[in-house]
Structures are given as structure tokens and as C-alpha cells.
Amino acid sequence: MSTTNHSPLPLEYEYDSDLSQWRVWDQQATRIADCDTGEQAALIVRAVNSHDALVKALQAMKRVATKNGLDGCGHVDCRNAMNGAREALAKAAPAERKV
């Protein structure tokens, strides 16, 4: 199940020598972003392409921890892992649009 609503994945990037810019494209050849550096374009591509899988993995981790009583076990490593998972999932939730 996809947790995001965006252009078809995976995104790709390439350098446009005519414009001296890095461009990010979706699978329908729609330009998503123009970037000054390849590092910026690569970050966008990696973040977007991995988003759904990372959210799914964190949700699974949270389910397993809760099912096995590790959610509140008190061990600092369990607590830190669960807090990190919760924070990451909260950041991954769709942002409310400001009008």
C-alpha cells in the first residue's frame, strides 16, 4: 500500500548541459525539480524513491515491537528505537496544506 501520492516512481536525474542544471524526472518524463548540483538531485531521488519502503518497514517494526511487548519494555535501546520510528513516521505523514 502506498503512503504517498506523487509522480510515478522511480524518479531519475540527469545533467542538462544546455541549462547547466541537474533535472529530476518521473517515469512519465515530467520534470519534477531543477537542481544546482548532482548531490541535490540525488538526495531528492533517493528520498522519494525510498520513502514508501522506509515507512512500511518502520510500521512493521512498530507492530512487531508492540505485539511482543517491546514497545514499553524500558530497555534504553528499545525505547530509543521506538521513539525514532515514531518520529520518522510522524515526519513522513502528509503535511497539511497551508492556504
Whether pLDDT at 1 is above 50: no
Question: What number is the average pLDDT over the span 75-91?
Answer: 82
Contact in structure between 29 and 22 (CB atoms under 8 Å): no
pLDDT tens digits, one per residue of 39-74: 999 999 999 999 899 889 888 888 888 787 776 666
Rounded to whole angstroms, the Cα distance separating 84 from 3 reads 19
> Where do the H-state alpha helices sit in the chain?
38-67, 76-92
